[in-house]
Amino acid sequence: MLLIKNGRVVDPVTCVDEVMDVLIDGTHIEEVGHNLSAADAEVIDAAGLVVAPGLVDTHVHFRDPGQTYKEDILTGAAAAAKGGFTTVVCMANTKPTVDNVETLKYVQEKGEKTGIHVLQAAAISKGLKGQEMVDMDALAEAGAAGFTDDGIPIMDEKLLLAAMEKARDLDMPISLHEEDPLFVKQAGVNQGRISEQLNYGGASRTAEDVMVARDCMLALHTGAPVCIQHISSANSVEIVRMAKKMGADVHAEATPHHFTLTEDAVLKYGTLARMNPPVRTENDRLKIIEGLQDGTIDLIVTDHAPHSAEEKAKPLAEAPSGITGLETSLGLGLLSLVEPGHLTLMQLMACMSKNPAEFYRMIPGSVTQDAPADLVIFGEKEHWTVDHFASKASNSPFKGWELPGKIHYTICAGKIVYQD
Ligand SMILES: NC(=O)N[C@@H](CC(=O)O)C(=O)O
């Protein structure tokens, strides 16, 4: 038994925000209340700390199978636990692609050995080629968490329409990477002031906007549960807001880098600030925050995209896009959203656990009796410096930053999976 004493329970499911004790027996929460005691329990003194449901990240790349020099399922899960996450959904752009039941099962089986909940999304198209649909029925049956060609936009509207109709029938989420190559001269950097200064082609926000507009209307037409992945453009936020008003079951993700950084980061951090879609202007950043405030954007995800130091040492035009994100996500959420008063801590916890869990058809974590003992314990205003990573990769522009939200414990299924 594990007894967490005097923590501030912040639960986005019940909306409880109160100092209480939490008693864990086995894999589940036995009791939540005041002055709890248990003779033989291990005690965690959580006075001054927040006790919240384990964080849920529904957009990570663990590179396994195929690119395990960047990350593997075990190191990815260790990075997740260090970042306060107890559940992750891996994207399908592995080698081979998760477009078949065998590869899906490989991830699921390896994931079971990690101590956290590792779920896997399946691709929408075979080999992410955008030409032939996967067997969505078989992959759903085998336990895929959802469907996505993340990393690559789906240009074939007919294929996407069929996939959305199938996702609707299966009641499963379908998530979309929105960047029309027609408007991407060179990927990873916003097309604008900084790209011009660097004489780099850049990626226009129109690349995202045209696809978001199309896919919001397809979502409305089909009734499928659709997620706009890593939204980056102010216009796209407005389009999602409008589509939601029209009744589309459309959702959107924001990443910590998109609500923290602007295109100027490329000058300072070089390839470490290269990502798809790129970080853009202060106006885009502020509109993303507004989207989080009014619920237009309901999911915060990391897009944890580990790459090796050698890969990121290449010139801007050749380095791969993406940054490692699991270990800095909570800190950046607190720094960029809660500290300036844009979101309450409760709202942040909803975006980082309840909402992503619900969109992916899981029962959201809650600090209540009989709920699974998946918890994170952190000091909301306790600062720490980003230095070493549990991830194999350290491709982060946030290295050296001082962030709030030091994590003391991550507990999954009643077991301590991270402690500091
Ligand atoms: N975001 C990125 O820049 N890269 C991701 C792909 C993705 O999530 O789009 C990756 O797999 O490296």
pLDDT tens, residue by residue, 124-157: 999 999 999 999 999 999 999 999 999 999 999 9
Our answer on whether the CB atom of 148 is closer than 6 Å to any ligand 1 atom is: no
Q: Whose CA is closest to atom 7 on ligand 1?
A: 151
pLDDT digits (tens, 9 = 90+) for 380-408: 999 999 999 999 999 999 999 999 999 99
Position 153, amino acid: P
Q: Is the pTM of this model over 0.80?
A: yes
What DSSP designation does 320 have? P
CB 96 within 8 A of CB 341: no
**Res 321: pLDDT:** 98
- In angstroms and rounded to an integer, the radius of gyration of the C-alpha atoms of the chain is 20
Which member of 57, 180, 303, 374 is catalytic? Answer: 303
Q: Whose CA is closest to atom 8 on ligand 1?
A: 151
Question: 60 alpha carbon to ligand 1 midpoint, in Å?
Answer: 9
Cis peptide, bond prior to residue 65, ω within 30 of zero: yes
**pLDDT band at residue 325, thresholds of 50, 70 and 90?**
very high
Number of CB atoms found within 10 A of residue 364's CB: 20
Element (H, E) at 42: strand 42-45
CB 9 within 8 A of CB 20: yes
**Res 231: pLDDT:** 98
CB 213 within 8 A of CB 184: no
Q: Is 209 designated active site?
A: no
Instruction: Using the atom order of ligand 1, give the atom closest to the CA of residue 177.
Output: 9
Burial of 114 (0-12, 13-18, 19+ CB in 10 A): buried
| CATH code for the structural domain at 2-50+370-419 | 2.30.40.10
Measured CA to CA, the distance from residue 155 to residue 163 in angstroms comes to: 13
pLDDT digits (tens, 9 = 90+) for 338-379: 999 999 999 999 999 999 999 999 999 999 999 999 999 999
Q: How far apart are the first and last CA of the chain?
A: 20
Mean pLDDT confidence for 301-307: 98
**Res 35: pLDDT:** 97
* Domain with residues 59-359, CATH architecture: Alpha-Beta Barrel (3.20)
Q: What is the location of CATH 2.30.40.10 in the chain?
A: 2-50+370-419
Q: Give the chain's length.
A: 420
Our answer on whether the CB atom of 275 is closer than 6 Å to any ligand 1 atom is: yes
| Sign of the dihedral through C-alpha 20, 16, 11, 30 | positive
Instruction: Give me the torsion for CA of 237, 353, 378, 82, rounded to 10°.
Output: -90
Residue among 67, 303, 318 whose CB has most ligand 1 atoms within 8 A, to mutate: 303
Question: 338 alpha carbon to ligand 1 midpoint, in Å?
Answer: 26
Q: Whose CA is closest to atom 10 on ligand 1?
A: 305
Measured CA to CA, the distance from residue 347 to residue 366 in angstroms comes to: 14
Tokens of 94: 């592995």
**Res 241: pLDDT:** 98
Residue among 152, 275, 279, 302 whose CB has most ligand 1 atoms within 8 A, to mutate: 275
Our answer on whether the CB atom of 61 is closer than 6 Å to any ligand 1 atom is: yes
**Res 207: pLDDT:** 98
Q: What is the location of CATH 3.20.20.140 in the chain?
A: 59-359
